[in-house]
Every structure is written in C-alpha cells, then in structure tokens.
C-alpha cells in the first residue's frame, strides 16, 4: 500500500509541475489515445501499479489543465496545495460524513467551517448549512427549504403530502438566471418553464421595479455574479420590495457571493444578508478541489425539515450537529475538511486578497485588449470579461484559434445578442505574468 500511494503522490506532483509548460488543452493525439481505455472488462486482476501507470500515461495528457494558471474558460479555481493535501488525507480517512456520533472529526470540522463561512461572507450567524457537490445541488437544497417554508405558511406539509393538490408556488427569476437554478427548480417539481421572468438591465441585473406583485407562497430567486458579466442583482432592494408579502428570497451566488469577503468589492453584494437562503461554490473562488458547494438557510429548522431523515438502525439522536440532517445525500465524502483547510490557511485577509487579485487580473485583461482596439462588452466589476473581435464569425474563429494555440483557454458565449469570448479569472495560481503571456497570445491571434 505504501509503495502504491507514494507512486501516486509522485505522479500527481509531476503532473502539477508540468502544467506551466504544456498547452492548456489536450492535443488531438492525446484525446485519440483515450480509446485505449475502452476494452472488455478484464477477467483477471491486475497489478495496481500498472493501473496507475496506465492512468498517468493515457489519462494525464488527455486532461484540460484546469489546475493550472491559464485556464480561463469557466469560473474554475485551481486547488490550493493545502486543500489538495487535505483532500488526500480526508480520502484516506474514508469517512461517510453523515452522523456526528459515527464520524466525529469530519462532522465537527464541517461545523467549524460553516461558522467561519458565515462570518467571512457576512451572513446571519444562526444560518443552517449544507456541504454539497456544487451550486446546482446547493440551489436545490436551499430551494427545498424555501418550498417547505412557503407551503408551511399556508398549512401544507410538502414532505409528507407532496405537491399533488398543494397551493401553487409563484417563482420569480431574473431574465439572465443561470440554468443550474432552473434545473434545481425542475428537480423540486416547481418547473423550469412556469417561472415568472423579470427583465434585466444592460449588465444582466434583475430590475427590482419590474418584479410583479406576488404574495405567499412565493419565492424570488436573485443572482449575485452573472456568469457572463459578473454583475450582481440589487438583493437588498429586492428584499425590501418583497419582504412585506412574506416572499422567500433566495440568492444564487455560485461565485459572486465571495465578493462579500473583500472590503473593496463587498458593496456589490450589499443587502444579501437580508435574504432567506444562499448557494455558492467552494471549488470556484475558494479554490478547493472538486466537488464542493455550500447551501445556507437563515432558518436552520426549515432546512432540517426539508432534509432530515431517520431510521431505527441509525444513531441520529445527538447533541451535536448531524450533517445528514441538512443535505440531500446521506452517504457523502467529507467536503468540509477541504473548506476548513482553505480558510485555516488563508484567513480572512487571504481570501480577500485572492478575490481582489483575480479581479485585478480581469481588469488587466480588459484594459490591454481594449487598448488594442477590441470591444469589451461588459463593465468589468468582478472576474468576468466579455470580448468581441468583430462579428460573430470572426469572434468564434478567433476563440477557436486561441484554444488551439494552447497558451491559455477561453470559452465562447452569446450574451444579449452578442457573440463573445468569455474570460473568467478564478485561480490562485494566476499571476500578472500569466495575464501578459495570455494577452500577447490573444492579440497575436486576433490580429490575423
């Protein structure tokens, strides 16, 4: 066992050290060789070291260098070394982190990490929380609590009686709502298409004055961090407009919620603490390994009512927090360990610096590209930059060549009728030199 794990550690370290000098995207040859994994199920066992060798020789070259410093295709943070190390150790612990009585270490670390996150993000300290796979499930979890709460207000127990015959819930979203939130609504039986969509402004923010008059049971879903522009809905104003009607306000803050941790950017999230629930990703701006999302609910009892489960064979009665009382999954890995390690390592100032530094890099990109004569479509308020190189065909051709060049990797999008290249800067590893190197490659290709 020791020899195998040491071999694996060395392979992983060598992979990470290679990212600086390789192309960000895998080569066509590397992708073609992945077919070698496709073989009939072996009849006999094999040497574990040969298995690891095969994974490294075929798998490593076929990966996108998301862990490196020049992947800007999605809001994807590379893993801080301490969080990757914590992930390895927690994997060795192999704790099914559902019950405090059975897995006390990981349950307690999760509880501490939750308190720290609430403090860091300036959310109400009484919130309940759930460590889940990502923002999709975080939205699902928080909105399950919302569904319970707004139906309870009108005398309906949705967990016991389902949605058949239940009073209809009005769900309001912004025009530029993220599809992961719509997916969560669909999974909850609230529908992806029966939502009321509120018009957005020129940066994709929900317009509070356009929110229709609604009464409970109703849920208004806001967004902090538009996936294209980084813009944040005016959550405080939205809460003030809807609070008197007993409406539940939810915040999809997959990456934008982390702006609350930065003294210079916190104004963008003004009023988010007035909402009833929030969803975010830790594998984005906190730079912990995949997969890691967090849901917060102001009234912890509402979250527990939507998620808790019990059985005669389970020791669920405890004076300590049982993680399984707050999450959709019963069996799950100890995600809170990596979050704890990140926060313990960075501290409040380190998280603020990470957020501010990556936003600085985004502004650097925008400034240099605009100075070269190309159009920046959005106000660069966070870490998102939208670039147009001309018409849609020209822009898409430039993006394809930038991706093929391999110096950096940026994706494409269509936003408010404009085809654009989207630059998302989220990694702790990105430096000014990485930005300069990437800008030089982008402009060299664009000038063709």
CA 130, 305, 330, 167 torsion-angle sign: negative
Q: Classify 4 as helix, strand or coil.
A: helix
Q: Is the pLDDT of residue 316 over 70?
A: no
**Pick from 129-133, 222-226, 320-324, 362-366: least confident:** 320-324
Q: Is the pLDDT of residue 318 over 70?
A: no
Mean pLDDT to the nearest integer, 78-105: 95
Summarised one tens digit per residue, pLDDT across range 92-117 is 999 999 999 999 999 999 999 999 99
- Look at residue 222 in the predicted model and tell me its pLDDT: 98
Q: What is the end-to-end Cα distance of the chain in Å, rounded?
A: 54
The gap from C-alpha 16 to its chain's centroid, in whole angstroms, comes to 22
**Confidence band of 14 (pLDDT split at 50, 70, 90):** very high
Q: Is the pLDDT of residue 312 over 60?
A: no
Task: Please give the DSSP secondary-structure letter assigned to residue 432.
Answer: H
CA 435, 437, 443, 446 torsion-angle sign: negative
Summarised one tens digit per residue, pLDDT across range 145-202 is 999 999 999 999 999 999 999 999 999 999 999 999 999 999 999 999 999 999 999 9
Mean pLDDT to the nearest integer, 122-127: 98
Percent of the chain at pLDDT exceeding 70: 98
- Look at residue 279 in the predicted model and tell me its pLDDT: 98
Residue 301 CA to residue 305 CA, distance in Å, equals: 6
Of the candidates 110, 114, 132, the one whose C-alpha atom is nearest the C-alpha of residue 123 is 114
- Look at residue 244 in the predicted model and tell me its pLDDT: 81
- Look at residue 313 in the predicted model and tell me its pLDDT: 53
- The average confidence (pLDDT) of the chain is 96
Residue 402 CA to residue 239 CA, distance in Å, equals: 42
- Look at residue 325 in the predicted model and tell me its pLDDT: 93
- Look at residue 315 in the predicted model and tell me its pLDDT: 58
Residue 32 CA to residue 275 CA, distance in Å, equals: 49
Q: Centre a 10 Å sphere on the Cβ of residue 13 and count the other Cβ atoms it contains.
A: 11
Answer for the pair 61, 14: CB distance below 8 angstroms, yes or no.
no
- Look at residue 340 in the predicted model and tell me its pLDDT: 98
Q: Where are the domains of the chain?
A: 1-68, 86-342
- Residue 320: φ, ψ to 5°: -110, 165
Q: Supply the pTM of this predicted model.
A: 0.95
- Look at residue 309 in the predicted model and tell me its pLDDT: 75
Mean pLDDT to the nearest integer, 253-262: 98
- Look at residue 124 in the predicted model and tell me its pLDDT: 98
In CATH, what class is 86-342?
A: alpha beta
- Look at residue 319 in the predicted model and tell me its pLDDT: 76
Buried b (16+ CB within 10 A) or exposed e, 288-320: bbbebbbbbbbbbebbbbbbeeeeeeeebeeee
- Look at residue 435 in the predicted model and tell me its pLDDT: 98
Mean pLDDT to the nearest integer, 368-374: 98
Summarised one tens digit per residue, pLDDT across range 211-224 is 999 988 999 999 99
Q: Is the pLDDT of residue 314 over 70?
A: no
Q: Is the pLDDT of residue 233 over 60?
A: yes
Residue 409 CA to residue 71 CA, distance in Å, equals: 5
């Amino acid at each position: 066992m020791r020899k195998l794990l040491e071999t694996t550690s060395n392979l992983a370290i060598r992979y990470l050290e290679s990212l600086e000098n390789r192309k960000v995207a895998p080569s066509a040859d590397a992708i073609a060789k992945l077919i070698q994994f496709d073989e009939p199920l072996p009849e006999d066992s094999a040497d574990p070291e040969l298995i690891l060798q095969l994974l490294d020789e075929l798998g490593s070259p076929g990966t996108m260098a998301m862990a490196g410093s020049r992947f800007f295709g999605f809001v994807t943070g590379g893993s801080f070394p301490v969080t990757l190390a914590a992930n390895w150790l927690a994997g060795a612990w192999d704790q099914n982190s559902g019950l405090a009585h059975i897995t006390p270490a990981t349950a307690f670390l999760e509880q501490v990490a939750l308190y720290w996150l609430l403090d860091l993000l300036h959310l109400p300290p009484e919130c309940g929380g759930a460590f889940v796979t990502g923002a999709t499930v975080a939205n699902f979890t928080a909105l399950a609590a919302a569904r319970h709460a707004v139906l309870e207000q009108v005398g309906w127990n949705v967990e016991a009686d389902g949605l058949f015959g239940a009073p209809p819930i009005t769900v309001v979203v912004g025009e530029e709502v993220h599809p992961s939130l719509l997916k969560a609504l669909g999974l909850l039986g609230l529908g992806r298409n029966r939502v009321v969509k509120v018009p957005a402004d020129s940066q994709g923010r929900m317009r509070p004055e356009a929110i229709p008059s609604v009464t409970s049971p109703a849920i208004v879903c806001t967004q902090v961090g538009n996936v294209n522009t980084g813009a944040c809905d005016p959550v405080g104003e939205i809460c003030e407009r809807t609070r008197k009607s007993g409406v539940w306000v939810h915040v999809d803050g997959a990456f934008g919620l982390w702006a609350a941790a930065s003294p210079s950017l916190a104004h963008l999230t003004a009023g988010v603490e007035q909402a009833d629930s929030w969803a975010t990703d830790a594998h984005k701006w906190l730079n912990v390994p995949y997969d890691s999302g967090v849901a917060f609910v102001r009234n912890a009892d509402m979250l527990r009512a939507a998620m808790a489960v019990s059985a005669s064979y389970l020791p669920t009665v405890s004076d300590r927090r049982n993680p399984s009382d707050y999450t959709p999954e019963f069996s799950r890995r100890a995600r809170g360990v990596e979050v704890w390690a990140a926060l313990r390592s960075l501290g409040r100032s380190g998280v603020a610096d990470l957020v501010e530094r990556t936003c600085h890099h985004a502004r650097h990109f925008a400034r240099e590209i605009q100075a070269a004569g190309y159009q920046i479509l959005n106000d660069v308020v966070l870490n998102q930059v939208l670039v147009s190189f001309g018409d849609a065909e020209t822009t898409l051709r430039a993006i394809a060549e930038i991706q093929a060049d391999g110096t950096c990797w940026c994706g494409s999008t269509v936003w408010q009728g404009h085809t654009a290249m989207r630059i998302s800067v989220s990694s702790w590893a990105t430096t000014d030199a990485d930005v300069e190197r990437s800008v030089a490659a982008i402009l060299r290709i664009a000038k063709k």
